[in-house]
Structure 1
Amino acid sequence: MRPSTVQFALSSSKSIRIETIFAFVGCAVLLISLVVLIDHPPINQRTDFSVTYIGSRMVYLGLGPKLYDLAEQQKLKSQLLPNAEPLIYEHPPFEALLLAPLGALPYKAAFLIWGIINVAIWLFLPYLLRHYAPVPRDDLAYLLLWMLFLPLGGALFEGQSSLIMLLLYSVTFIQLRSGRDFSAGAIFGLALLKFQFALPLALVLLLQRKWRFIKGFLGTAAALGVLSLVAVGWRGILSYIHLLMGVTAHPDNSSYGAAKGMATIQGFVYALLAAPFGHAAVSVIVAAASIFLILWTAWLWRKADISADLRTFDLMFAATIVVSIVTSLHMFTPDLSPLIITMLLVARYFPERSHTSLRLVLGTTLVLLWMPPLFLLLLARHSAYLWFPVLMAFTIGIFKMVGIPGEKIAGAQMVHPAASLAGIPEVDKSN
């Protein structure tokens, strides 16, 4: 290689590195500024974080046994957050205990700290997953995709824990991919923070006989169970179970989260069939469809796992993420955040031109999911349930991709994330 060529490569590498650093700094400034802008009443009080704060505040004040007493929740909310939406705290007891330090702070300070934590997670995730998502090759385009996926912005705006869930899905994916099943299970046990998503994925892996994963998962679950008892006691646990039964029995109650606002089997079936058939029939249909989808996913994974290549694992894990979301019984738009893992993995293994119809289905789905105005339109119309057929088409498309012979990536050339974000070019080792 000529000296001039080497000098040009180094110069280009330095230029890319500076551009990437400036892009990350710019995103950090933008996102933190958004948090600061939101953190004023009445806007900050009307976010979902108000619910999280009330729960943590009650435990901090020693009101843990009354955590799921809706009258007590409303009493404290009216005192501290007069502009809050009529939402209730239905999160697991251990969450309120773990976040009690935030409950000790004034609401404005707690919202700011929580927002900064979410910003840090959001900006760390592109770095963490870059090694597994080399498409697009341009780092700035890759970062832009992370900024364009609206559920991430919704999670930040609402103060949801969805970015933490995305982090847990990401780390679990990496651990499983590396063969560290026990640590993957122990880490994913923390996803019981939103157990309605954690349990379907854990069930698929149980049907895969991932025993070490299940042991780790159950170990963390047991620890969180102890923390829940410490937080609210047995009476509080029973009150929580009673509350959850009330939530599932009233899918049209906006205080619990109306079913039509959920991109799930329940949301879709309820919107179409609740009026003519009633709630009981809808519940049976939803349960049957959810069980079928989980069993089908597990069966396809076991069937495909004969080849045992990383491409198969990546795509089946990507599909299982979608299944864990659409089979949940309760969600909001920010809870779609883990889908970005699926989207990036599908982009990585996007089918060749010979698979025209499959490319059309997957490409259309990716475009729709990366269109913020479409999310906003469906939110405004309270019609998020319309995402369900899109997600099902996406899932079936991924299942079809698994059946297409692809290049095994165990020995494929990959760029280390640190090298990628630093702008260091790939080294061709083929010669």
Structure 2
Amino acid sequence: MVGLHLFFLWSVRARIARGDPDFTAFYAAATLVRSGHAVDIYNPSAQFTAQARFTDDYELRRGPLRYIHPPFEALLFVPFTFFSYRAAFVLWDLANLGMLVAVALSLRASLLPDSGIGIWDLVLGLLAFFPIFANFFQGQDAILLLLFVALGFRAMKRRADFSAGCWMALGLFRFQLVIPLVLVLALWGRRRIALGFVPMTAVLLLVSAAMVGWGNVLRYPAYLWLWASLPGSGRTPSSLLPSMLGLVTGWPRLEGIHWLVAIVLILSAGLVIVVARMKNLAQEPRFFNLCFACAILASVLVGYNTSTYDLALLVLPLAVMLREELTGPIPRGLLLPIVPLLISPFWFLLGMYWQNFNLIAIFLLWWLIALRTELLRRRGTAPVPQPAVPLA
């Protein structure tokens, strides 16, 4: 799989060089910040002008590749603007590789300490996973989010919930994935996660306001809504979203039906409630890993703009499954929804040939249901502690 990914990456090198990947939006926003025009990072004209300076054939687009993330994330990319676009893209991919090594180290410490699996074996396994590869192809930031969530998970395993909340707040550049996850964890009784999450969120909010002003911060939700609802604004088609939104609306003649969005909201709220009601299971240490896997699956399913590269977060549930397999064979019902997700040609077929990444949501829902069913089965068959009988 790694060889296939490298071959594809090499075959699209010309498209990368001319500025097609999503990294273009990050680089342009950071360029505006560095030049003292941070207030313009959400201005389409300023974005288009900035991107025109370093992209080729930019006129092929109807407009700029918009920067839609919170302001504070643009600071992360400012150091890369001291290099040309092509060099910056390579450096960011190298940074992603370094973060992937850190993810492997964190997973081995929290889930696979006695597995005998080497770090580089884990890294190669991660590189073979299509959503991880998508981050390298697009120059995306979901591997950084994966690192923060993995560090948060490791902190939770050490009962350092306040630190876990801080780590997860750092992932708020993809708030649509982080907020549902933190909400579920807080509803499970891990309230110190919220105590760490809220102040770190406030710090990031203040940093954003210092960069672009409170006016732009307050207008940011409206900017996102316009981007998400206006055709031709550059948003990802629903058929390419592996989420509840994509699964329901990502079909011909359905994407423009507004009442379907209300259906998606109801279904998403129901999914979060179902996972939140696993509180009793999640409070038992022997079940927590599987419950956390359910929380991750629910978070990516309910995200309003979950893209293929965001599914890098599935590395955590996959690591949980690997731990389960190493400690004892896991039921076939848990394996069936996972196997297709590990085959890159399947992703290429769905997304690049059929243009229907939204079908991935079926496997994620199947996986979540299978996990919950297995948890309920294990709780039902667990031995009940018997009271001690005094000796006569």
Identify whether the pair has TM-score above 0.5, normalized to the shorter chain: yes
Question: What are the superposed Cα offsets for residues 251-310 of structure 1, whole Å, 9 maximum, x if unpaired?
Answer: x647111111110000111125x736953211111111111111110111x13145x22x
Q: CA deviation at 1:346?
A: 1.9
Higher RCO (CA-CA < 8 Å; seq separation 6+): 1
Whether contact under 8 Å (1:266, 1:286) holds in the other structure is: yes
Question: 1:336 is matched by which residue type in structure 2?
Answer: L
Whether contact under 8 Å (1:96, 1:231) holds in the other structure is: no
Task: Name the structure 1 match of 2:315.
Answer: 340
Task: Name the structure 2 match of 1:321.
Answer: 296
Task: Name the structure 2 match of 1:271.
Answer: 250
Q: 3-state DSSP class of the match of 1:247?
A: helix
Task: Name the structure 2 match of 1:9.
Answer: none
- 1:19-34 alignment runs, 5 A limit: none
Match of 2:176 among 192, 196, 202: 196
Match of 1:371 among 314, 333, 343: 343
| 1:247 aligned onto 2:222 | no
- Whole-angstrom CA distance in 2 between matches of 1:246 and 1:136: 48
Alpha-carbon distance change, 150 to 277 in structure 1, aligned in 2, over 3 angstroms = closer
Alpha-carbon distance change, 136 to 181 in structure 1, aligned in 2, over 3 angstroms = closer
Identity level (%): 26
| 1:260 aligned onto 2:239 | yes
- Whole-angstrom CA distance in 1 between matches of 2:244 and 2:34: 37
Residue ranges of structure 2 left out of the alignment (5+ in a row): 383-392
Residue ranges of structure 1 left out of the alignment (5+ in a row): 1-26, 409-431
- 1:37-116 alignment runs, 5 A limit: 43=17, 45-83=19-57, 86-116=64-94
Between 1:216-225 and 1:103-112, the stretch displaced more is 103-112
Task: Name the structure 2 match of 1:413.
Answer: none
- Whole-angstrom CA distance in 1 between matches of 2:101 and 2:180: 27
Q: CA deviation at 1:37?
A: 9.1
Whether contact under 8 Å (1:247, 1:256) holds in the other structure is: yes
Task: Name the structure 2 match of 1:164.
Answer: 144
Whether contact under 8 Å (2:140, 2:309) holds in the other structure is: yes
- Whole-angstrom CA distance in 2 between matches of 1:278 and 1:106: 40
Whether contact under 8 Å (1:40, 1:108) holds in the other structure is: no
Structure-2-length-normalised TM-score:
0.86
| 1:304 aligned onto 2:301 | no
Question: What are the superposed Cα offsets for residues 14-73 of structure 1, whole Å, 9 maximum, x if unpaired?
Answer: xxxxxxxxxxxxx9x999999899776653611111111011111111111111111211
- Whole-angstrom CA distance in 2 between matches of 1:284 and 1:141: 44
Alpha-carbon distance change, 31 to 389 in structure 1, aligned in 2, over 3 angstroms = closer
Whether contact under 8 Å (1:270, 1:282) holds in the other structure is: yes
Q: CA deviation at 1:101?
A: 2.2
Task: Name the structure 2 match of 1:217.
Answer: 197
Whether contact under 8 Å (2:227, 2:234) holds in the other structure is: no
- Whole-angstrom CA distance in 1 between matches of 2:71 and 2:373: 40
- Whole-angstrom CA distance in 2 between matches of 1:136 and 1:314: 16
Question: What are the superposed Cα offsets for residues 83-107 of structure 1, whole Å, 9 maximum, x if unpaired?
Answer: 4565211111111133222234321
Aligned-pair Cα RMSD in Å: 3.0
